Amino acid sequence: MSKIIRTAVIPGSFDPITTGHLDIIERAAAMFDFVYVTAFSNADKKGSMFSSDEKLHMLRLATAHLDNVVCSIESGLTAVFARERDAVIVKGIRNGTDLDYEMTMYGINRAVEGVDTIFIPAKQEYMHISSTFVREMLRYEHDFTGLVPPAVHKYLCEEWMK
């Protein structure tokens, strides 16, 4: 007999959190009793624009309206973090490239820790948004309205666009 999983882990670099990320978080928060949104260190992603403290602050600003969401910064393997919390991993998928990569990660997480992954497709209006795109807009001081949650936009304008 299968058990009901009530907890989800949404991992990411969140450098910074985008409106697409928030949409996936909100949809997962409606499906699960408890959601961990966790920025993990990723050896493949070099040169973060934001510190861990800044990422955590922005995650908390963006998810403040969600009572069942806890944000954190972690190191280590996502699958171990999820297994220790009896959780599934939730990943947003924007396109076929994301799906190919996340299917490989699913296989690894399942083989190493027995953790399942649930994929949530991005809504059409968020498919073009990525943290990389937002960072480029910030670097060139271009308008990034609508690419990040409103509270994060305000924070970035006040702290980064001085």
DSSP line for 35-74: EEEEEE--TTS---SS-HHHHHHHHHHHHTT-TTEEEEEE
Residue 16 C-beta-side C-alpha neighbours within 13 Å: 30
Q: 124: which residues sit within 8 A by CB, 6+ positions away?
A: none
The single-letter code of the amino acid at 75 is S
Are the C-beta atoms of 52 and 73 separated by less than 8 Å?
Answer: yes
- Annotated catalytic sites, by residue? 21, 45, 94, 131
Burial readout 123-140 (b: 16 or more C-beta within 10 A, e: otherwise):
eeebeebbbeebbebbee
> What is the SS3 assignment for 91?
strand
Element (H, E) at 155: helix 150-159
